[in-house]
């Protein structure tokens, strides 16, 4: 597999990146780590005369806290997230989730922004970010930024709400509510996940004061399972027996709308969701 010839551009700002894509139109594409795009080019699934490398744009870099939100630059790699002291301190579940993404080689160069923009249904971060009501910030050079809830950003397989020439610049993750914990789990027998589940649980005075459940990888796009959340909200932790968790798992499997693909039948994936919801919610409560 060899890469076809292309001209490489290395802009230093969002403005410059947008101008390049505007100038070359459909013959140009952004890339960051290149773990998805360069693979597509090598396989001959797409071809571009101009590649616009985003790694030198400072605005897309760094992990910081702003107004209580954890702000992750779009060009931050999975490996940086996994190893960041700030992430481990503020949101350890994010570091744990990132440690489970792909393999070391992919994590070393693949970015959070690239993962979300590629929008492969078999992925971890979008499911995780849904439980935290995260938003992405996107910007076309010369225009004000747009803040988009993650639920409205990931539209379906390989489809996002990005506009032409617009970059995802950062991911903004609100702090979990006081007393809440987040857990993420997946099941995979190929390289990418077959099913992903993320749960947030907040326990107050021995009761589940808040339950958030997101399911991904099994259907066209990750989704919050609100009916499952309702089943568990208000329940005393001591009564969180198999019956209630099974019911929540059932509601989550319905919300996930599992698809038939090389990872398995809809029935099989629904069963994975039922099992993972029970396990992951218990873990978050624990």
Residues in contact with ligand FAD by CB under 6 A are 29-37, 54, 60, 74, 101-102, 106, 110-111, 113-115, 117-118, 123-125, 162, 167-168, 191-193
Q: How far is CA 88 from CA 85, 94, 181, in A?
A: 5, 8, 13
CB of 39 to ligand FAD, least distance (A): 6
Neighbours of 280 (CB within 10 A): 27
- Rounded to whole angstroms, the Cα distance separating 122 from 129 reads 15
Q: Would you say 1 or 238 has its CB closer to ligand FAD?
A: 1
Residue 18 or 270 with smaller CB distance to ligand FAD: 18
Gap between the Cα atoms of 230 and 108, Å rounded: 39
DSSP string, 22-53: HHHGGGEEEESS-TTHHHHHHHTS---SEEEE
Q: Do 220 and 258 touch, CB atoms closer than 8 A?
A: no
CA distance 202 to 192: 30
Of 111 and 131, nearer to ligand FAD (C-beta) is 111
The distance of closest approach from Cβ of residue 61 to ligand FAD in the complex, given in angstroms and rounded to an integer, is 11
| Sequential DSSP letters for 185-238 | EEE-SSSS-SEEEEEEEEEETTEEEEEEEEEESSSSS-EE-HHHHHHHTT-BGG
Nearer to ligand FAD, 114 or 278 (CB): 114
Residue 277 beta carbon to ligand FAD: minimum distance, rounded to whole angstroms: 19
Cβ–Cβ < 8 Å for 114, 32:
yes
Closer CB to ligand FAD, 2 or 103, in the complex: 103
- By beta-carbon distance, which residue lies closest to ligand FAD? 114
Q: How near is the Cβ of 62 to ligand FAD at its closest, in Å?
A: 14
Residue placing its CB nearer to ligand FAD in the complex, 76 or 228: 76
Q: Residue 55: how many CA atoms within 13 Å on its side-chain side?
A: 11
Within 86-190, strands assigned E span 135-140, 146-149, 154-156, 159-160, 166-173, 180-187
Q: How far is the CB of 32 from ligand FAD (least distance, A)?
A: 4
- Minimum Å distance from CB 123 to ligand FAD? 3
* Residue 34 beta carbon to ligand FAD: minimum distance, rounded to whole angstroms: 5
In whole angstroms, the minimum distance from the beta carbon of 269 to ligand FAD comes to 16
Alpha-carbon 155 to chain mean position: 12
Q: Which is nearer to ligand FAD, 125 or 258 (CB)?
A: 125
Nearer to ligand FAD, 39 or 65 (CB): 39
């Amino acid at each position: 597999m060899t890469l076809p010839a292309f001209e490489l551009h290395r802009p230093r700002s969002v403005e410059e990146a947008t101008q390049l894509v505007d100038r070359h139109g459909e013959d140009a594409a952004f890339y960051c780590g290149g773990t998805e795009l360069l693979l597509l080019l090598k396989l001959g699934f797409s071809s571009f005369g101009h590649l616009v490398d985003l790694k030198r744009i400072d605005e897309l870099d760094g992990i910081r806290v702003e107004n209580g939100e954890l702000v992750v630059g779009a060009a931050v790699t999975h490996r940086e997230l996994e190893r960041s002291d700030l992430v481990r301190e503020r949101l350890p579940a994010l570091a744990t989730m990132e440690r489970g993404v792909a393999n070391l080689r992919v994590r070393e160069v693949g970015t959070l922004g690239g993962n979300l923009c590629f929008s492969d249904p078999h992925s971890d971060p979008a499911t995780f970010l849904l439980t935290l009501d995260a938003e992405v910030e996107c910007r076309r050079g010369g225009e004000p930024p747009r803040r988009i809830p993650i639920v409205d950003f990931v539209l379906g397989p390989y489809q996002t709400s990005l506009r032409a020439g617009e970059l995802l610049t950062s991911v903004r993750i609100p702090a979990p509510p006081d007393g809440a914990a987040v857990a993420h789990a997946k099941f995979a027998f190929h390289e990418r996940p077959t099913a992903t589940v993320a749960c947030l649980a907040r326990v107050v005075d021995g009761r589940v004061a808040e339950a958030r459940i997101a399911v991904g990888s099994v259907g066209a796009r990750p989704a919050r399972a609100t009916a499952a959340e309702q089943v568990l909200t208000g329940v005393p932790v001591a009564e969180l027996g198999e019956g209630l968790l099974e019911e929540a798992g059932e509601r989550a499997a319905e919300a996930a709308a599992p698809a038939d693909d090389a990872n398995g039948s809809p029935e099989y994936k629904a069963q994975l969701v039922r099992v993972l919801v029970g396990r992951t919610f218990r873990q978050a409560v624990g």
